Amino acid sequence: MERSNSTAKDGVSRRKRNFANFNYRRRSRVNCAVQYNAELGSVLGLTLKSNCAFACDSNSALLAYPAGCVIVLHNPRNGKQQFIFNPGQKTITCLKFSCDGNFIATGESGHQPCVRVFSVSDRSQVASVQSHKYGVSCVDFSPNSKYVISIGYQHDNVINVWDWKRNIIAASNKVSTKVKSVAFSECSNYFVTVGNRHVKFWYLEKASTPDNCTVPLKGRSAILETLRNHMFCDVVCGVGADSHLTFAITRSGLLCQFNAKRTVARHVELKGTAGRTICIINDTILCGSGNGYIYIYSTKTLDYMTEIAPPDIVQ
């Protein structure tokens, strides 16, 4: 009996010694970022609501479109994708390449949204500015890449001309309607905005105020006459010999030509259904319609030339 008691006491004392020598320090947390390293491989789908959220670089043929807070750079030649992540993690609503294809400007939605400029080569942000309240509907580079135009949502109604390399708002003004699209002139002296019953020319004039001051942006409305009740959904400025002309397309399917006096020089009815988008290649105008067809017209006379049918998968 005494032997069993002594054996029990020895076991208890041995356990006490083991507990006394045990290291009770808490283990350090494992860094999950080191343990699990994930990368975005591919994106299926897109989140664009207007023409302003899709861009193509004519130099490299890269296509850019948003997928949430990610800019997808798609190369149609090899099918590969590259990605630019919005550091603000807000949904991207519009984007545009610079004329040389080296930079891409973006606008976003949400409270206090930013306008950002990213480098396409290393896919990093090089500049940003917060100058709107609720969201940005359109952005565009000037042809000389000096300025970025940003237009706020309808409840914001602000147009800003951002000198992004010096990070100052060079000019600003209010707009009274929802802007659907914006286009810069080839000479970078003015740009044009379009929307519901709205075609307006905004002129960039050299101010006598200090360089770091924001000057009022001067705008002149186009003389629409019988077209004043139309919804203008896209606009483009002429190039080369047609640089004094401006072309716009309406939702009802009208292609309009404006001259240097901001009056409607001529207009024609598209062969397709409702107009959606417009662009210029040399002396031809390409108009995208609601039925998927692309109709081609002459810039000088607006005469119909030919059409491009959509692929079978689109039909």
Model pLDDT, residue 249: 94
Asked if residue 258 belongs to a domain, the reply is yes
**Per-residue model confidence (pLDDT) at position 15:** 65
Partners of 92 in the β-ladder: 108
For 178-197, b/e burial (b = at least 16 CB within 10 A) is ebbbbbbbeebebbbbbbee
Distance CA 108, CA 114 (A): 6
Q: State which of 159, 188, 221 marks the end of a domain.
A: 221
Last residue of a domain, one of 186, 202, 221: 221
> Which pLDDT value is given to residue 30?
53
**Residue at 35 is within a domain:** no
The candidate with the shortest Cα–Cα distance to 153, out of 107, 198, 216, is: 107
pTM exceeds 0.95? no
Residue 70 and residue 104 in contact, taking contact as beta carbons nearer than 8 Å: no
Bridge partners (DSSP) of residue 234 are 249
How is residue 45 written in tokens?
């789908």
> For residues 183 and 185, what is the distance between their CA atoms, to the nearest angstrom?
7
Q: How many beta carbons lie within 10 A of that of residue 88, not counting itself?
A: 18
Clarify whether residues 98 and 211 are in a common domain: yes
194 lies in the same domain as 232:
no
pLDDT of residue 155: 82
CB atoms within 10 A of CB 284: 13
Q: What is the pLDDT of residue 70?
A: 95
**At 90, which CATH number?**
2.130.10.10
Pair 176, 245 in one domain:
no
Residues 183 and 237 in one domain: no
86 and 138: one domain?
Answer: yes
- Residue 64, domain member (yes or no): yes
pLDDT value of position 217: 93
| 137 shares its domain with 246 | no
The pLDDT of residue 214 is: 86
Whole-number Å distance between alpha carbons of 296 and 113: 37
Residue 29: the pLDDT is: 58
Do 300 and 180 belong to one domain?
no
Tell me if 286 is assigned to some domain. Answer: yes
Domain count, the chain: 2
Sheet of 218-221, strand order: 179-184, 190-195, 198-203, 218-221
In a domain, 249, yes or no: yes
Last residue of a domain, one of 221, 244, 275: 221
Residue 23 belongs to some domain of the structure:
no
Are residues 108 and 207 located together in one domain of the fold? yes
Question: What pLDDT does residue 292 have?
Answer: 85
Q: Tell me the longest C-alpha to C-alpha distance in the chain.
A: 119
Q: For the chain, 315 residues long, give each residue's pLDDT as a single digit of tens.
A: 445 555 555 655 666 666 566 555 665 555 555 566 788 888 888 898 888 999 999 889 999 999 999 999 999 999 999 999 999 999 999 999 999 999 999 999 998 999 999 999 999 999 999 999 999 999 999 999 999 999 999 888 899 999 999 999 999 999 989 999 999 999 999 999 999 999 999 999 876 556 678 899 999 999 999 999 999 999 999 999 999 999 999 998 899 999 999 999 999 998 877 778 999 998 999 998 888 889 999 999 999 999 998 877 555
101 and 56 within one domain: yes
Structural domain contains residue 266: yes
CB 257 within 8 A of CB 247: yes
Say yes or no: 156 and 272 in one domain.
no
260: domain CATH number is 2.40.10.480
Owning domain of residue 56:
45-221
Q: Is residue 36 part of a domain?
A: no
